[in-house]
Structure 1
Amino acid sequence: MYEPIRTKSVHRMTGTGRPEIPHRSRGEELDVQLAGHLGALLTVTDELGLDQAAERIAGQIARLRGTPPARHAGRSEQDTRALHERAHDLAARALLVAASRADTTVAILAAERMDAHAAALAPAAAR
């Protein structure tokens, strides 16, 4: 009633042969993702001219990647408010990944950056 399959399977069974692509652990993937979010935050922080905060972020990127990050060379004429909004969003993303990876140091740094950018976005009357 049923005809047997006559072709080889296109699926590979686990544990057979060499893996063709390198696989990373969940922790390694989170490190890569966290370093990426921090790298984007570093770019915006450099553009805002927040040197002390940028150095702290760069230090964490160097710890995660094993090498110091490339730094933003110059400033654009982008609106400061938009830069603070973007930095706040990037710090929030870094905080989520840092919490997932249980990296307290980066979580604290990201939370501090979120607070700093939220304060910069607050209306002058609320200060």
Structure 2
Amino acid sequence: MYEPIRTKSVHSTMAGTPQDFPHRSREEELDIQLAGHLAALLAVTDELRATAPSADLDTAAERLAAQVTRLRGGRTPARASARTTGGKADAATLHERAHALAGRALVVAASRADTAAAILAAERMDAHAAALEPRELASR
């Protein structure tokens, strides 16, 4: 009824040296996480550009794409053109989402001491907060 296992378990960490399976350093993990947050911010920025085009958003999108490319070792991020974005979303909702994503990117950039990414994330937070400010004042 019972047949013994003939191969090593893939779950065993005691098999050989720690180099038997891939490891990433903390810095590599933070790079991956930061690239993900910035890529998500880039996607929302592209969506905002389709909703309300502006030179500021164009510049921000290019800077975000450059940072994501740097963090991903030269691989460029996927971009959505204005024609390929789905239904038009509310600009205020997009600014709120972008502000939150920029905040997450800022936290990770600060923890990995990436000054360029931290400055960019802080600038984007300020820009999206400023875009939301008139709406907040009108609702008071």
- Same fold at TM > 0.5: yes
Structure 1 counterpart of 2:111: 100
- Measure, in 2, the Cα distance between the counterparts of 1:42 and 1:106: 13
- Measure, in 2, the Cα distance between the counterparts of 1:116 and 1:77: 21
Cα displacement (A) at 1:80: 0.5
The TM-score with structure 1 as length reference comes to 0.83
Structure 2 counterpart of 1:115: 126
Which consecutive segments of 4 or more residues in structure 1 shift more than 6 A? Answer: none
Letter in 2 for 1:46: D
Structure 1 counterpart of 2:63: 56
SS in 1 for 2:94: helix
Match of 2:101 among 90, 100, 119: 90
The TM-score with structure 2 as length reference comes to 0.75
- Structure 1 runs not aligned, ≥5 long: 1-9
Output one character per residue of 1:9-30: Cα deviation in whole Å (capped at 9) or x when no partner: x86448x346443110000000
Output one character per residue of 1:63-89: Cα deviation in whole Å (capped at 9) or x when no partner: 000211110233331110000000000
- Measure, in 1, the Cα distance between the counterparts of 2:68 and 2:12: 38
Q: Give RMSD over aligned pairs.
A: 2.0
Q: Structure 1 residue 71 and structure 2 residue 79: aligned? A: yes
- Measure, in 2, the Cα distance between the counterparts of 1:125 and 1:37: 26
1:3-82 matched pairs, under 5 angstroms: 12-13=13-14, 16-17=16-17, 19-49=19-49, 50-66=57-73, 67-73=75-81, 74-75=84-85, 76-82=87-93
- Structure 2 runs not aligned, ≥5 long: 1-10, 50-56
